[in-house]
């Protein structure tokens, strides 16, 4: 105690020095811990940045901001979708009651009236119809007054789409309509002619419903071009998936459409193909070959999808 009293100042300075050393140690430890955590976080961010830069595409750099560019492209795409809706107007189902309820009598009446209208339009456009095509792929439904449960809605949609498809061919002035095929949407379709149906079915994704159809017709090349132009310019979503063209070969059918006689002009066989144009006799010349173009009747099979955009949610 005597020594401490003699050296009180020294003792006080020593105690303070030890305190400061302890505080410095604690500060160093806390700083080291904080720096270690920060370094681990920095390493994680650096590794994540490296992974992002290795992606295709990468987020970009200080000169190119790929994220902002992607947002702009997304906005442009959405704007294009809004504009494209004008070319994908839905085809109204037949019938299309205001209350949305389709009954058996309502559909039966609409079916008969629509088929009769299409037959008249074919006659007015001088388009031949094979006997088995008189009902435009609805042979299984003709004559029925009751239809398979749950089928009236899909059948009404298909009837509207078949009518729109056939009218494109009538407007193009094809020589003969050989067939229209659609997907089966009703149990009644299981009993119909196999030539009326496709094995394919409608496909639905988050944007649209795509319904397949196949049309087969006979025409010359200008009329085939008119058919394709008609599908392309339609306000409805017609997408031509494929076309197969070959020489027609066999003659068109010889029997008229069923119905009352309207005079000798309608009693005779209709829709026979015109005779092939006769090549003009070559004119004498000074030599060389003369080019002669001879049009040939063709048989075209077109696979088309009707795209119906899903309503906005």
Q: What is the pLDDT of residues 109-143, one digit of tens each?
A: 999 999 999 999 999 999 999 887 789 999 999 98
- pTM for the model: 0.64
CATH number of the domain residue 213 falls in? 3.30.70.60
- Mean of pLDDT over the chain: 79
Verify that 119 and 231 share a domain, yes or no: yes
pLDDT of res. 58: 58
Verify that 211 and 155 share a domain, yes or no: yes
For residues 9-13, give the mean pLDDT.
Answer: 66
CA distance 196 to 178: 11
Other beta carbons within 10 Å of 249: 9
pLDDT of res. 290: 56
Sign for the pseudo-dihedral over CA of 74, 80, 81, 83: positive
Q: How many separate domains does the chain show? A: 2
pLDDT of res. 310: 80
pLDDT of res. 26: 66
Question: In percent, how much of the chain has pLDDT > 70?
Answer: 70
Query: Given a cut of 80, is residue 85 above it in pLDDT?
Result: no
For residues 22-29, give the mean pLDDT.
Answer: 68
Enclosing domain of residue 223: 95-252+296-309
pLDDT of res. 117: 95
pLDDT of res. 255: 37
Where residue 279 falls among pLDDT bands split at 50, 70, 90? very low
Verify that 145 and 248 share a domain, yes or no: yes
Q: Vertex 73, ends 67 and 78: CA angle to 5°?
A: 130
């Amino acid at each position: 105690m005597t020594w401490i009293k003699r050296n009180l100042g020294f003792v006080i300075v020593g105690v303070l020095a030890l305190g400061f050393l302890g505080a410095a140690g604690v500060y160093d430890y806390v700083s080291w811990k904080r720096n270690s955590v920060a370094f681990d976080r920095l390493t994680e961010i650096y590794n994540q940045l490296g992974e992002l830069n290795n992606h295709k595409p990468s987020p970009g750099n200080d000169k190119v901001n790929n994220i902002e560019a992607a947002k702009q492209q997304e906005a442009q795409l959405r704007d294009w979708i809004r504009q494209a809706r004008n070319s994908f107007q839905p085809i109204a189902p037949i019938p299309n009651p205001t209350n949305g309820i389709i009954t058996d009598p309502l559909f039966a009446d609409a079916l008969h009236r629509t088929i009769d209208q299409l037959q008249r339009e074919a006659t007015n456009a001088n388009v031949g119809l094979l006997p088995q095509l008189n009902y435009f792929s609805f042979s299984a439904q003709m004559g029925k007054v009751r239809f398979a449960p749950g089928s009236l809605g899909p059948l009404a949609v298909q009837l509207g789409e078949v009518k729109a498809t056939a009218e494109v061919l009538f407007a193009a002035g094809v020589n003969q309509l050989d067939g229209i095929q659609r997907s089966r949407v009703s149990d009644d379709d299981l009993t119909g002619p196999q030539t009326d149906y496709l094995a394919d079915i409608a496909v639905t994704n988050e944007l649209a419903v795509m319904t397949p159809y196949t049309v087969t017709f006979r025409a010359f090349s200008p009329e085939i071009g008119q058919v394709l132009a008609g599908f392309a310019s339609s306000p409805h979503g017609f997408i031509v998936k494929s076309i197969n063209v070959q020489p027609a070969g066999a003659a068109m059918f010889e029997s008229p459409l069923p119905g009352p006689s309207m005079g000798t002009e309608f009693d005779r066989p209709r829709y026979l193909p015109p005779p092939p144009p006769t090549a003009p006799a070559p004119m004498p010349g000074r030599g060389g070959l003369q080019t002669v173009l001879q049009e040939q009747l063709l048989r075209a099979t077109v696979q088309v999808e009707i795209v119906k955009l899903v309503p906005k949610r």
